[in-house]
Amino acid sequence: MAPQGKLDLDPEVVRAARGLAARAAEPIIRMARTHTTVSVERALLRLAGMSGADDGGRPWVNHLADAVRDQVGLEHGVALPVWDALLNGPYGDLGELARAAARGRVRFRLPAGADAGHAADAARQAARTGMNRIDRRRAERDRMLTGGAGGRPSPGTGADPAQPWIYLIVATGDIYEDIPQAQAAAREGADVVAVIRSTGQSLLDFVPEGATREGYAGTYATQENFRLMRAALDDVSRELGRYVRLTNYASGLCMPEIATLAGLERLDMMLNDCMYGIIFRDINPRRTFIDQRFSRQIHARAGIMINTGEDNYLTTADAVDAAHTVIVSQLLNERFGHEAGLADAQLGLGHAFEINPAVPESFRLELAHAQLVRELFPGAPLKYMPPTKHMTGNIFAGYLLDAFFNLAGVMTGQSIILIGMMTEGIHTPWLSDRDLALENVRYVRDACGSLAEDFVPRPDGFIVQRARQVLAESVELLERVEGDGLLTAIAEGTFGITRRPPDGGKGLDGVVERADGYLNPAIEILDTEDPHAAHAEEVPA
């Protein structure tokens, strides 16, 4: 077959790389299909409408799941013991049951026979109610994007902003301070607003409750914070006549629960890549791969676009020497995403502009890497991250480097461009810093227009040869990963240098192998139904 694309990549080499990635991913997929975690089980309870926390802030879903685990284990899931107790006890709802369980007044059992059937039916009905709500929220987004019946009022027509989308972060720690900043960012041109999480939330094995005002270098991801920010961005979307997307983080020990809450509150994008948690937060690899599959199934159902974290590898590893590890991780994430039901249009694969500017030909190397990613994943909304590692504090050099990043993004047709800050690493950006950064990306984007159409590297030139070299190195690494196993590769520091053994890290005690007869009605629905088929008009309220 003839080479194709601007880089003339050999289709057989690309096909071989995808085949190796699929084979390397298969043992992880099997593990995820045969195990559960405490957070997967709590996600079912949240899908069924459970919320709230005790006076100490411990969520009732944690109380209930822990009580079931202590008494009968989680090998069969929480569904049968919980709904059996609801049907046979004096409890009006899951909240009452959880409060009684927290006081030690509930005796859970694993029902059998007709009792098991009744409990399963009740659990399925509760899960279906939650899934219907997610379907309605997805359809709500669709109407707002198209401006159809029930869509946005004037002055907008509901048109989706053209790519590349400008992606901007707010992170005050106080949701009530984040909201006006997010709305101001949208008015200044941001297409996507990300509310970065409070430092260390990924290590909490519970989701905080309610609106929060005391985050650290970020704002806690909670259902109420999601609701408040979604409503605020809907207001500014109506004002501007274009849909402003909302992003948060579904990673860490509560990945499945946060993904579920995001679906229920109509978030649009979620940072969702277990490799980040494994490498940079020392979360157990087994725990987070299992959690990742469920969370991505929820994202697929909710129409949420994921963002993956390959850009983070280049903050620890050299961006030239480790370029192929980014490609390998993207290919693995593509396979994991497809298996979980994500469409190409939901695969916001990550990469970054992190080559040392002192390296000769650094910009040509960046173009080679960015164009390679663009051609390998033509249907994916790629998220391109700005320079951080080599920002020195010289704000003038930093502003110039960000302009080169913006130029590379436009030239290679990137989909989502996170704005770079010239004060990166100096202090939390001021609003004036953000204004200048937005001005930078707007100028480059508007001045270049459709420059990507005209950017065609010289056949067999520097850029083409570099891209082919990185792809060849990716195939070589995938062969090793497929042979040794992905968990072994992670343990050996293949991605981002850091070594993380399969049985190390936080959260392994929350992993449970499923027994025969395991039931989680949410997983039943997600495993058997087309995630993109549901429409609000067909879903009962």
By annotation, the residues acting in catalysis are 276, 311, 383
> End-to-end distance of the chain based on CA atoms, in angstroms?
52
**Rounded (10°) angle between helices 38-47 and 60-72:** 130
Q: Report the distance separating Cα 119 and Cα 115, nearest Å.
A: 6
Distance CA 37, CA 292 (A): 11
Q: Which uninterrupted H or E stretch holds 34? A: helix 11-34
* CA-wise closest residue to 403 among 417, 426, 420: 420
Q: Is 446 helix (H, G, I), strand (E, B) or coil?
A: helix
Residues 6+ apart with CB under 8 A from 493: 499
| AA identity, residue 98 | A
Contact criterion met (CB below 8 Å) for 130 and 47: yes
- Both structure tokens of 281: 């937060």
Helix residue ranges, H only, 449-520: 451-454, 462-484, 486-491
Which residues 6+ apart lie within 8 Å of 383 measured at CB? 167, 307, 308, 311, 348, 349, 350, 351, 414, 415, 416, 418
Q: Give dist(CA 165, CA 417) in Å, integer.
A: 6
β-pair partners for 53: 59
Cα–chain center distance at 500: 21
Locus of tokens 């006081």: 103
- Residues pairing with 193 in the sheet: 168, 246
Q: What is the CA radius of gyration of the chain?
A: 23
Q: Specify the pairing of strand 35-37 against strand 511-513.
A: antiparallel
